[in-house]
Chains A and B, each alone.
Chain A
Amino acid sequence: MIDTRYAIRLNGVTKRFGNHVAVSELNFDVPRGAICGLLGPNGSGKTTCIRMIMGILHPDTGSVSLLGAPPDDVRRKRVGYLPEERGVYRKMTCTEFLTFLAEIRGVSRTEGWKRSNDWLERLGLGEWADRRIEALSKGMQQKVQFIATVIHEPELLILDEPFSGLDPLNQDVLEEIIRDFHSKGTTILLSTHLMDQAERLCERVCLISNARKVLDADLKELKAKERTGVVAVRFEGSNQWLEGPEIDYIHESNGELQLILKDGADHQSILKRGLQCGAKIYRFDLVEPRLHEIFVRHAGTESIGDAGMPKNVTLELQ
């Protein structure tokens, strides 16, 4: 039952390590050509999930399909996989290393050599091609690792925390390259705990928390559906009007307040109260919720706090 619509399908997948359940009853699809985010706090099971997709780990129950069949050597060679913990052979030169990785995925050595040099040139590492990798800075090493992931021109990219450790400039470079691959039809699955990045890049998101899937949807639809309930506010004066039964909690970002409303609450009553209160209101704007808020709403603040997400998501008001 080969299904060509999906690059990745997970069906009821559970994985335990001893007593610890790393992934529980996970159903999850990545359509071909999509760029899809696997989101969740550290330790939520993203890496285990990805390792099962790559066939490095085997699920206890459930099934994994990679490019239409269980992950095997032939299919895995069509995937570009950037693990979360990635290393290099420090003593090899950049081109040697990249050529070797191309070779074990079935690219000829001459071709691998050529592509390595092209890529190094493209990412500004041309003059480092024949230097040993240990001589490179960490950022440069990460670029080499990324090249290693795409050197065999895979049809599916699986990137586990691709942005971690990169400076903002290089994050942009990488983001650009990922978009480029996407526009050429490559399916991309990337895991991250950085919601902003995911929000900018992904068409689809799958949120995992505590080994379970919390949410799995198209990002645009998701945002439209979740639109009600977040109000951006900028004002001067008393803030008493911000205490009310409609407001679940308040989130501050970039000096602006975001009011996250309770389900079904009416924002008009808040505005009315503000005007009565005499506050000078410059902005009162029903906004698209950020992915962050959606995640918090679905996973609950408790589980986030546990799993090492930033804790100061709510702002205490005097």
Chain B
Amino acid sequence: MSANVWAVIRREYLQRVRSKWFVISTLGGPLLILLVMIVPAYFLVSGGQAEQKLAIVDGSNVLYERIAPYLVNEGLEVEEERWYPDVVTSLRKEATEGDLWGFIVLDELTLDTGEAIVYVTTRPSPIRQLTLQSAITRAVMEYQLERRGVDAEALLSGGDLSLELLSEERTSTEEPQFWVAYLGAFFLYMVILFYADSVMRATLEEKTSRIVEVIISSMEPWHLMLGKILGVGAVGLTQLLVWIVSGFLIVAGGMPLLVSLSPELMPVETLLSALPGIGMVTLFVCLFIFGFFMYSGLHAAVGAMCNTDQEAQQVRLPMVMLLVIPIAMVSVVIVQPMTAMSTWFSLFPLFSPFLMWARVVSGGIPAWQIGLSFLLMLFTVLAIAWIAGRIYKVGILMAGKRPTLPELWRWVKEA
């Protein structure tokens, strides 16, 4: 590649990477992930501490030892209170004075019906209510089953359900897979369009600031366009890699830590197992690269043929509208990745970056289809580069009215 192109790439890359916006959004991404993970966890844990102390008056004499460990496990501090005639009055006093969050009164009736009275100073969250309720009913069931000589522990721990798949066809839209496919496709859409749009804006800016004439008096317009696209693409790739690596570190390192801190987060751990592996990350990055090349070429041409931002947004609109199709198709493709419609739509090069991702994550797609789609995207990239390069060359120096379609065609033919 010629030295000019490198100079343009370098300039484009360094200018952007050094910008405040880039630093903020690149570091902000992982911070956001951290925040999303930590904040709820923090509130779960600290919320527990605030309403921590709970007294249990056990009139049944058998329930306390069964309830206490369970509630302690849920982050509550529990103390037993002996039954005496004025116990409710004195505990009420203690609670209103702030020494207790509340107290539970259990009696013989509780053993039969599971009913109990909970006195609290502040209204507990629905989840906490459920915790209390299930702690009590569970203790009652345990007691009753044991009296009848049943192994209560094994039964109450929920038994074990094992799944065995009978066909090769994909399992189903298990929750985490669905989200990885859906969010991944949507994320690709956002980054690809964002960076393609950056190419358009940069082109437009060079054109309107008139710097472009100086530049292309020293190098081929085509080289300038190439350098610009590669430079912006490298910025996008950098950002993506920072996000992916830090995301992995945060999730892989932070998650187990969080889970150990607050067991309520246990179900989130299943998300971990659904996170894409190295192969999928590579696919993601490749889809970004191909998608970016296709769309940035188109955007560069749009930028070159327009004179103002509004004009460019207008011209770009049909292209963005077209993209509604793959985005709408994503959820269909995830559920039925192997139908003819899903296959054809995902092979259409301009849609491939989003739909191929969704299909591959959903599983069961033959390797040759992935290969074919990349081949088709490659041809599309070359075709777009050829056409866009020609439009760019003529358009970049044009002022005044934006070209009509026949005029555009003439540019392409004559350039």
A89/B211 in contact, CB under 8 A: yes
Q: In the assembly, what is the distance between CA of A81 and CA of B397, in Å?
A: 15
Question: Smallest distance from the beta carbon of A184 to chain B beta carbons, Å?
Answer: 22
| In the complex, residue of chain B having the shortest beta-carbon distance to the beta carbon of A82 | B214
Q: Mark out the residues of chain A between 80 and 103 whose CB falls within 8 Å of any chain B CB in the assembled complex.
A: 81-83, 85-92, 96, 100-101, 103
A56/B397 in contact, CB under 8 A: yes
B8/A85 in contact, CB under 8 A: no
Q: In the assembly, what is the distance between CA of A76 and CA of B7, in Å?
A: 17
Interface of A is mostly: loop
Assuming the A-B contacts A86-B213, A88-B211, A91-B15, are A103 and B7 also in contact, with contact meaning beta carbons closer than 8 angstroms in the complex? Answer: yes
A92/B217 in contact, CB under 8 A: no
**B214 contacts which of A73, A83, A90, A91 (Cβ < 8 Å)?**
A83
Flag whether A54 is at the interface (Cβ < 8 A).
Answer: yes
Q: Which residues of B contact A81 (CB under 8 A)?
A: 214, 217-218
Q: Mark out the residues of chain B between 207 and 230 whose CB falls within 8 Å of any chain A CB in the assembled complex.
A: 209-220
A76/B206 in contact, CB under 8 A: no
Flag whether B4 is at the interface (Cβ < 8 A).
Answer: yes
Question: Smallest distance from the beta carbon of A238 to chain B beta carbons, Å?
Answer: 54
Find the residue from B11, B19, B206 having the highest chain A CB count within 10 A.
B11
Q: Mark out the residues of chain A between 158 and 198 whose CB falls within 8 Å of any chain B CB in the assembled complex.
A: none
Flag whether A139 is at the interface (Cβ < 8 A).
Answer: no
Q: In the assembly, what is the distance between CA of A30 and CA of B412, in Å?
A: 34
Assuming the A-B contacts A88-B209, A104-B8, are A73 and B217 also in contact, with contact meaning beta carbons closer than 8 angstroms in the complex? Answer: no
- What number of residue pairs across chains A and B have CB atoms under 8 A from each other? 67
Assuming the A-B contacts A81-B214, A101-B214, are A87 and B220 also in contact, with contact meaning beta carbons closer than 8 angstroms in the complex? Answer: no
A76/B218 in contact, CB under 8 A: yes
Flag whether A77 is at the interface (Cβ < 8 A).
Answer: yes
Flag whether A105 is at the interface (Cβ < 8 A).
Answer: yes
Flag whether B3 is at the interface (Cβ < 8 A).
Answer: yes
Question: Smallest distance from the beta carbon of B277 to chain A beta carbons, Å?
Answer: 40
Assuming the A-B contacts A91-B15, A92-B15, A104-B4, are A73 and B213 also in contact, with contact meaning beta carbons closer than 8 angstroms in the complex? Answer: no
Assuming the A-B contacts A89-B211, A91-B15, A92-B15, are A83 and B217 also in contact, with contact meaning beta carbons closer than 8 angstroms in the complex? Answer: yes
Q: Which residues of A contact B215 (CB under 8 A)?
A: 101, 104
Flag whether A148 is at the interface (Cβ < 8 A).
Answer: yes
B211/A73 in contact, CB under 8 A: no
Flag whether A106 is at the interface (Cβ < 8 A).
Answer: yes
- Against B, the Cβ 8 Å flags (1 = close, 0 = not) of A54-86 are 111100000000000000010011010111011
> Can you offer 7 A-B residue contacts whose CB atoms are under 8 A?
A54-B217, A85-B210, A87-B213, A92-B15, A100-B7, A105-B218, A106-B3
Apart from A56-B213, A83-B214, A83-B217: 7 A-B pairs, beta carbons within 8 A: A55-B217, A56-B216, A77-B218, A85-B213, A88-B209, A103-B7, A104-B3
